[in-house]
Amino acid sequence: MESERVVVTGMGVVTPVGTGLESFWQGITSGQSAVGPVTQFDAGAFPTRIAAEIPDFDPTNYMDRKDVRRADRFVQLAVAASQEAWQDAGLSDINPQRSGVLVGTGIGGMGTLISQYDILRERGPERVSPFFIPMMIGNIAGGQLAMRYGLLGPNATVVTACASSGNAIGDAMRTIQWGEADVMLTGGTEAVILSIAFAGFCAMKAMSTRNDMPKQASRPFDRGRDGFVMGEGAGFLVIESLTHARARKAKIYAELTGYGRSADAYHIVEPHPEGIGAAFAMRQALKDANLEASQIDYINAHGTSTPKGDLAETLAIKDVFQDHAYELAVSSTKSSTGHLLGAAGAVELIASILAIRHQVLPPTVNLEEASAECDLDYVPLRARPTRVRHVMSNAFGFGGQNATLIAQEFEPYGQ
């Protein structure tokens, strides 16, 4: 039986470089970085004191005050981005049993866990909030979104570290292809700019320490890269079967055609040095999309600005694309947004789809001199107008878990 074609009909983002598609696109194509000094806690004692925070986010623009008090920041961001996507899609009359939610988050409600532990320690168990558990658990964003939009269909949460929302979108795509749903609200959310999270990542020496030059700190593939910069945010998409989208005459941004997933089976936090798992995920996505490697025009790289990660991804791209690796364009929008952890895959797929819409490639900000081993076309410093038909987006996570998605310019009658 032929599977359903899956199309993107709505998108929404809340990121350090902008909220809403227009502001976000302007942010990632401006050649600027959203990184600055940490303001959400006192980072004075930490080796890393910079992050990509969302400026002036007001959850009461999306939720009433009572619900805001009962929701962790990662849920607040999810509600905001999903509302943008839902309104963008123009959905109204849906079959709730044929509509579902699939969310990715790497960590979930860590802020709530820390604040409630402090209350327990300082004021005793009777003062811990009765909303503590449902505020903290990672799957609560998906539950909240289902309740918000009355979606009774498939509902799940994926936790694969920084690959989480990439896997969530791929699994949502499969849910439609397999006929289990007509509409899926899918994406990712993360909000862990917290002292405990910083302490952990600093202990691993994983984050940049360019505290005196925060806007230059996230520099994927550059010879001076020294670690990732933590960000926060959410990205959500409404995806539908083409049959459902056509029936309601929906606007279509792009078609999702390929999904690959794999494991490095190598190390708890380091990528395989030759990028074997990443290469396998990319090959699987190409096979799923029924595309030749030479048909990919652009890759939105995982590109975290870590010495080992950027090199491993470069090697994986060369392995998969061979000579075409030097002809296609690759960039990392983490250079603008910082690393949004579990939300990165969704936000970066949205960036890739916007590249198709605008026929412009977002740049790798701060790439002044690529390291010797990183010798591909990383679209340095400035956005580039070009013809974009097929895009690939990579998301790789601790534990060696990898997700690759492919989207293409929508062709009403197929390839």
**Residues identified as active-site:** 162, 302, 339
The pairing of strands 6-15 and 233-241 is: antiparallel
What gap in Å lies between CA 374 and CA 110, rounded to an integer? 35
How far is residue 340 from each of residues 139, 162, 224, 269, measured CA to CA in Å? Answer: 18, 8, 21, 17
Specify whether the CB–CB gap between 367 and 128 falls below 8 A: no
How far is residue 293 from each of residues 103, 108, 214, 278, 325, measured CA to CA in Å? Answer: 29, 35, 36, 15, 9
Query: Tokens representing 175?
Result: 């849910």
Q: Which residues pair with 187 in a beta bridge?
A: 103, 236
- 290 Ramachandran zone, left/alpha/beta (phi>0; psi -120 to 50): left
Query: Tokens representing 92?
Result: 């109204």
What gap in Å lies between CA 67 and CA 375, rounded to an integer? 49
Q: Which residue has the tokens 């996570």?
A: 397
